[in-house]
Structure 1
Amino acid sequence: MSRDLPADLWKRLTSTVGLVCTNVDGTVNVMSAEWSCFVNKQPLYAAVALGPRCVTGGRVEEAGEFSVTLCAEDQAALADFAGSFSRADIDKTGSDLVGLGAPEATGTPWVTGGVVAVECLLRQVVPLPSHTLYIGEVVAAHLPDGPVRPLVKHGAMYALGEPVERTQIVAAAEVRPGGTLRVAATGPGGAGAREWRVTLLDADGSPTPLGTYPSALYDDLLVDVPLPAGQDAGALSGHRVVVERDGAKPGTARVAGAGRGAAPVAGAGPGTAPVTEAGRGAAPVTEAGPNTAPVTEAGPNTAPATEAGPNTAPVTEGDPGAPPRPGGRPVTACPGLPESPLRIAVVQTAARPLDIAGNVRIAAGRAGHAARRGARVVVLPELHLCSYDLRRLARDDGAAAVRADRSGQVTDRRMEPLVRVAAHHRVTVLLGAAVRRPGGPLTNSLLAVEPDGTVSVPYDKRHLWHDEEAALFSPGSRASTLSVDGWRLGLGVCYDMSFPEHARAAALTGAHAVLYPAAYASGTEHRAAVYLRARALENTVYTVFANPLGGPAHRPCAGSSAVYGPDGATVADAPAGEDTTLVADLDPKALAAVRRHLRMLAELRTAAR
């Protein structure tokens, strides 16, 4: 399928840093791939290795194609910048150092100025222990006019070659939906240079200082800048941003997102599709690479739920073990039903033992991938942040625990990648963690990462699994629900589903669905299916089962995650052993129809005195 390519092109595709371009629905992203090389001569295949913090892998799989530019020596600063931020952080194509060439054989542009750029059709995805290899067939190549020195070493990561000294700031700027201006930058600084100065230039070059800002993580800049009084964000077309700091050359960028115009593509002419800047908005997203596995969609074929409506304020309910209401009269269930479907994603994947930061990155990647498919709620398994390995937890719960204050708020910086995904996509993420409050015991809890940037502990597991868990954790004492887009979602963890009273209490307080992150061992998942079908049917609610893969050798898990409807039927289920994300729609019409026919909640009668 390759076009007429130079016979010796493979000799140019030696392993070095690559700038990978993806184009998904007109949204272009540029990301660094530390290892890019050729892997087959005839037909010519090129490969890029992407790490677990990179969203680009999911974009490559979604588009089925990519381009990669092997960096020239003078692109060291650009390589550092492209690898420091996600497309969800900022539109990097607005930087003055990012030139995009028009594609010839695909729909994906390529970064100009490198040793060679190739357009590729994705042929194979190879998961590796710490990275994922994306292999594409080269269908077009773009060579420089003259000799170009390749980038052999940048930063402190490699032993081959001499480091390239970076003196240039690389910057990008983008209009945010709320009327602010997001600015991102990387670059060196002199001794003690921790501050960045940001200036807005209008179309005539007149400067307006926007302030001085401290460095973010890794000494980069990522800040939302309020616009000057009277400045209309929609009128920034033609404006530029200058970012400066002591000891470095200033970086400049056009303001992306102003007027939602097309990104400039070098050489674009008739017949070249414009590369647009859709998908505005963002807070820092660090997404998992190997775990952006296929997404299985099921349920009613409805459009993704809109972003309007209430968003995830945790509602704490009373004790589900409370005695029934007296009097022998019907117990009235919550009469309100949601107005629109809720798309929910269930992540079935493996976690890394005691690696909270790594597991946050996995969760962020999968949540972002699911949100792009319209999910409003993403559910990950029990103890995802530390992995369900009780023996390791017993040896070192300090490494495994997330700290919360007495009110249940979490401010752990390791959660930041997931917080930013939730904020950018306006999605709620629910996942399991070991939690320790001041002066309190360890709990097996659920964290809710919400679109407003907060992380809370809405629920502690009430029913601990025998002595194995009781030796480590203290049980919770309260039930809880989350409210998302008018849907009330009851919360439970694993063994909680074995107790009918747990789901019944949630249903009587108005829950439309009950979510159960879990860690059922391989060979026992059939019990969860029986429990959750029953809990769904007897309470006319949706039930959601998020079960992991992997785990310790003596107690592995094999997934079989599922969503069950209010009549107990399977809405969607994931194959056992497959790393995947299950996406399903919770349908208010289906819920209403079942409750009209099966009126257990409305006709429930408690025993008379």
Structure 2
Amino acid sequence: MADRIRIAIAQTLVTVDPAANGTAIRAAMRQAADRGARLVHFAEGALTGYAGADKPHYAGWRIDWAPIAEELAATMTLAGELGVWVVAGGNHQLTGDHRPHNSLWVINDSGQLADRYDKRLLSHNEVASFYTPGDHICTFTVDGFTFGCLLCIEVNFPELWMKQADLGVDCVLFSSFSEDPIFEIIARGHAATTGCWVSMAVPAQCAPAASSALIGPHGYLLRRASPDGPDVVCVDLDRTDPDLDVALNKARPWRATARAGDIYATRRVTDARTLDRTHP
């Protein structure tokens, strides 16, 4: 098991133009690769833009998929050339009249699509007007570290985060297109209770409220992107960091033991004062 991996959190400006978004994504990938990152993480909708009636790439609620396919292909090619993994958000086309998924594409360091995460728990507006919900969990491993994917409003569902820990995820890649600073606070709580790192990627235009950041498995911020515009931050996930020893090596395994319950079951006793809960 590797002790360390360097990841990059890319805070790009997300527009309604896939070509502009793709150019920004690939520039960030090059910066990250030059600084030794093995994985580059982007925001929700980073490649395609987010859904909505005001988006020019929609026409009668139909997306022009051609430029999206071109930009995704170019991004995959560059990932292979640079030898980096890329996780980037965007709309994923379905067939017929089915609405797209709100997804994270997982591109491996050979430039291939290794997997895709489709947002499962959508907002009311998303499920009513924009997107088709997904139905699967997405985890993958890079250099001995296991990553999981979650999107935006899914920050509000603790069961999704607990499942990540149950699956042995080391770092949750949490992509959002939100200007609500409470999302960061909730994500920090999930990091602290699950013992997972959390990489939080938001678009540059959302950064003034809560910029992209890496949260440690103790719930504290390890690195934050600039609140003033696009940025690429590179940071190591380090299993040997003494500041993370309690969170990684004591709290997380103990909580797994506690949740299993066996240690408590063997220590319970039959006692009259336990059974009587109405007297002091």
| TM-score above 0.5, yes or no | yes
**Aligned pairs for 1:370-381 within 5 A:** 370-381=32-43
- Match of residue 547, structure 1, among 202, 205, 224: 202
Whether contact under 8 Å (1:560, 1:575) holds in the other structure is: yes
Whether contact under 8 Å (1:497, 1:532) holds in the other structure is: yes
Distance 1:604 1:476, change over 3 A: same
Whether contact under 8 Å (1:559, 1:577) holds in the other structure is: no
The corresponding residue for 1:386 is 48
The corresponding residue for 1:470 is 128
- How far did 1:342 drift? 1.2
- Whether 1:495 aligns to 2:160 is no
Q: Aligned partners of 2:208, 2:73: CA distance in 1, in Å?
A: 28
Whether contact under 8 Å (2:205, 2:229) holds in the other structure is: no
The corresponding residue for 1:427 is 84
- How far did 1:346 drift? 0.8
What SS does structure 2 have at the residue aligned with 1:528? Answer: helix
Higher strand share: 1
TM-score normalised by structure 1 residue count: 0.39
Aligned residues: 256
- Whether 1:532 aligns to 2:187 is yes
Q: Aligned partners of 1:512, 1:431: CA distance in 2, in Å?
A: 19
Deviations 1:345-394 (A, max 9, x none): 111121220x2233112111101111110111101110111223523359
- How far did 1:604 drift? 1.5
The corresponding residue for 1:562 is 213
Q: Aligned partners of 1:343, 1:528: CA distance in 2, in Å?
A: 24
For structure 2, the 5+ residue unaligned runs are: 266-280
- How far did 1:400 drift? 5.3
What SS does structure 2 have at the residue aligned with 1:550? Answer: helix
Whether contact under 8 Å (1:422, 1:429) holds in the other structure is: yes
The corresponding residue for 1:505 is 163
What SS does structure 2 have at the residue aligned with 1:603? Answer: helix
- How far did 1:592 drift? 5.4
Q: Aligned partners of 1:357, 1:341: CA distance in 2, in Å?
A: 34
Q: Aligned partners of 1:558, 1:388: CA distance in 2, in Å?
A: 18
Deviations 1:32-82 (A, max 9, x none): xxxxxxxxxxxxxxxxxxxxxxxxxxxxxxxxxxxxxxxxxxxxxxxxxxx
- How far did 1:549 drift? 2.3
- Whether 1:454 aligns to 2:116 is no
Pick the structure with greater CA Rg: 1
* Matched letter for residue 211 of structure 2: S
**Greater relative contact order: 1 or 2 (C-alpha under 8 angstroms, separation 6 or more)?**
2
- How far did 1:447 drift? 0.7
For structure 1, the 5+ residue unaligned runs are: 1-337, 404-409
Range with bigger deviation, 506-515 or 417-426: 417-426
Whether contact under 8 Å (1:512, 1:541) holds in the other structure is: yes
Whether contact under 8 Å (1:429, 1:450) holds in the other structure is: yes
What SS does structure 2 have at the residue aligned with 1:451? Answer: coil
What SS does structure 2 have at the residue aligned with 1:578? Answer: coil
Cα RMSD between the aligned structures? 2.6
- Match of residue 173, structure 2, among 511, 515, 520: 515
**Aligned pairs for 1:145-544 within 5 A:** 338-353=1-16, 355-388=17-50, 390-393=52-55, 395-396=58-59, 397-399=61-63, 401=65, 412-439=69-96, 440-455=98-113, 457-468=115-126, 470-521=128-179, 524-525=180-181, 527-544=182-199
Q: Aligned partners of 2:62, 2:29: CA distance in 1, in Å?
A: 26
* Matched letter for residue 399 of structure 1: I
* Matched letter for residue 460 of structure 1: D
Distance 1:485 1:592, change over 3 A: farther
- Whether 1:574 aligns to 2:225 is yes
Deviations 1:166-193 (A, max 9, x none): xxxxxxxxxxxxxxxxxxxxxxxxxxxx
What SS does structure 1 have at the residue aligned with 2:63? Answer: helix
Q: Aligned partners of 2:51, 2:218: CA distance in 1, in Å?
A: 34
Deviations 1:99-158 (A, max 9, x none): xxxxxxxxxxxxxxxxxxxxxxxxxxxxxxxxxxxxxxxxxxxxxxxxxxxxxxxxxxxx
- How far did 1:574 drift? 1.8
Distance 1:559 1:425, change over 3 A: farther
Whether contact under 8 Å (1:401, 1:433) holds in the other structure is: no
What SS does structure 1 have at the residue aligned with 2:3? Answer: coil
Q: Aligned partners of 2:106, 2:20: CA distance in 1, in Å?
A: 18
The corresponding residue for 1:307 is none
TM-score normalised by structure 2 residue count: 0.82
Q: Percent identity?
A: 26
Q: Aligned partners of 1:515, 1:570: CA distance in 2, in Å?
A: 15
